Amino acid sequence: MKADPKRVLTGEHYLDGDHACAEGALAAGCTFIAGYPITPSTEVVERISERIPTVGGIFIQMEDELASMAAVVGASWSGAKALTVTSGPGFSLMMENIGLACMLEAPCVIINVQRGGPSTGLPTLTGQADMMQVRWGSHGDYEIIALSPNSPQECFFFTIKAFNLSEKYRVPAFVMTDECVGHMTEKVIIPEADKIELFQRRYTKLPPEEYLPFKPGPNLVPEMVKAGDGYRIHATGLTHDEKGYPVMNWEAQEKLVRRLVEKIRKNADDIVEYEEEETDDAEIVLLSYGISSRVAIPAIQKARAEGIKVGVLRLIVVWPFPEKRVYELSKKIKAFVVPEINYGQIVLEVERSVHGECDAILVPHGGGWVHNPEDIYRGIKEAVK
């Protein structure tokens, strides 16, 4: 299915990352947006609230992030492509209903424009310290999908990609941007609508008497219906059977939670996406995501000029993590160097994935600003030692 031309602002623009996310959501066919103001993400909903009346859809400013996320799950079940946008403190408040979205298999997109934490932290300054929270923040076992753009252009495309993946796998999909990318203004090219491919939610064709709302279809993903379609379904946050009815025993738990996890793990090859550069004969691979991948460029250039063979693995999809590729590379290289604006999150996943075959060296930054490329360069130098 192609995007609707009336929703796509085709042309060359000069946009910041937040505004580009907003345009991405509209192009993706998002018709329901619930949000609560929080720096540095507010510009996303500001632009949406300006554009939505003439594009079609509803924006509502909710009373808090708990309400925003709950409303998104409701809207998703009524057939809307639904979005909410936030940053650290709001993200924490959304966690419970993110779990509900996972349990109710409600496709939805959450944009987190990360800032420095913990707590109120640095409202106006950048951070990448919610990368583990997005994966594990709600209680219980589940899987999600998270993407990490490093430019306003990518904010546009990755928001669309997040909607497509979310609709396909019926999981919350996250655009994990940050203050730096969110407030960075660059050229954004918005293509013509017929160049934008959208995934159409799989609705069942079965009659109500044969339909089971949580029976796995292809790829372990159940076919959906919308509220109001006459199927009279029940959906609950309690552990449930394929009918959607609560079942309180370990067998039902095993069947349901295993599928929720496996529908992402078993389809990881389809979801995982990264960019690779000069990894064929690399001795060091710089593994990065988001803004840190751009800050690392001068460091990589400097190291290469000195003859160090530095490859690049830049994560586009951070979750699920490209563990297979990281393991393959680990057998050929000395070390991964991982710059991130936190004290070690994705580096833990790298350590796990290399199974001891090579080193994983963190170049940390507490947040508030991006790395000095010199620090990343020193990380590379340490790695070749």
Partner 1 sequence: MNETLTKEMGVIEEKHPMENILRMDRIPHIWCPTCGIGIAVTSFAIALEKSKIPLDQVCVVSGIGCSGRVAGYVKLDSFHSTHGRAIPFATGLKLGNPKLKTVVFSGDGDIIGIGGNHFIHSARRNMDMLVLCINNFIYAMTGGQLAATTPLTANTSTSPYGNYETPFNLPYLADSCGAVYVARWTVLHVRRLANSITEALNKKGFSFIEIICPCSTIYARRNRLGSGLDLMKFYHDNSIIKHGANTKELDIGFQQKIIVGKFVDRERPTFLESLNDWNRKVFGDKFKEYGGPDDGD
Rounded to the nearest angstrom, the gap between the alpha carbon of residue 341 and the centroid of all alpha carbons in its chain is: 17
Interaction of residue 57 with partner 1, rule CB under 8 A: yes
Interaction of residue 71 with partner 1, rule CB under 8 A: yes
Instruction: In whole angstroms, give the CA distance from residue 83 to residue 364.
Output: 31
Tokens for 54, please give them.
């003439």
Q: Which contiguous run of DSSP H or E holds residue 361?
A: strand 359-364
Instruction: In whole angstroms, give the CA distance from residue 52 to residue 55.
Output: 5
Q: Which one of the spans 42-50, 114-122, 221-229, 296-304 is the region binding partner 1 (CB under 8 A)?
A: 221-229
Given a contact cutoff of 8 angstroms between Cβ atoms, the answer to whether 153 and 218 are in contact is: no
Q: What is the amino acid identity at position 245?
A: Y
Residue from 228, 249, 269, 385 in contact with partner 1 (CB under 8 A):
228
Q: How many CB atoms sit inside 10 A of residue 105's CB?
A: 21
Number of chain residues interacting with partner 1 (CB under 8 A):
50
Q: Which residues pair with 240 in a beta bridge?
A: 246
Q: Which one of the spans 31-39, 188-196, 249-257, 283-291 is the region binding partner 1 (CB under 8 A)?
A: 31-39
Min CB(243)–partner 1 separation in Å: 8
Residue from 226, 255, 302, 332 in contact with partner 1 (CB under 8 A):
226
Rounded to the nearest angstrom, the gap between the alpha carbon of residue 142 and the centroid of all alpha carbons in its chain is: 15
Residue from 9, 60, 252, 297 in contact with partner 1 (CB under 8 A):
60
Interaction of residue 100 with partner 1, rule CB under 8 A: yes
Interaction of residue 249 with partner 1, rule CB under 8 A: no
Interaction of residue 212 with partner 1, rule CB under 8 A: no
Instruction: In whole angstroms, give the CA distance from residue 268 to residue 75.
Output: 27
Instruction: In whole angstroms, give the CA distance from residue 243 to residue 263.
Output: 18
Interaction of residue 301 with partner 1, rule CB under 8 A: no
Interaction of residue 85 with partner 1, rule CB under 8 A: no
Min CB(149)–partner 1 separation in Å: 26
Instruction: In whole angstroms, give the CA distance from residue 147 to residue 162.
Output: 7
Interaction of residue 75 with partner 1, rule CB under 8 A: yes
Interaction of residue 111 with partner 1, rule CB under 8 A: no
Contact residues: partner 1, CB under 8 A: 4, 6, 31-32, 34, 53-58, 60, 62-64, 66-68, 70-80, 82, 96-97, 99-100, 104, 226-238, 245-246
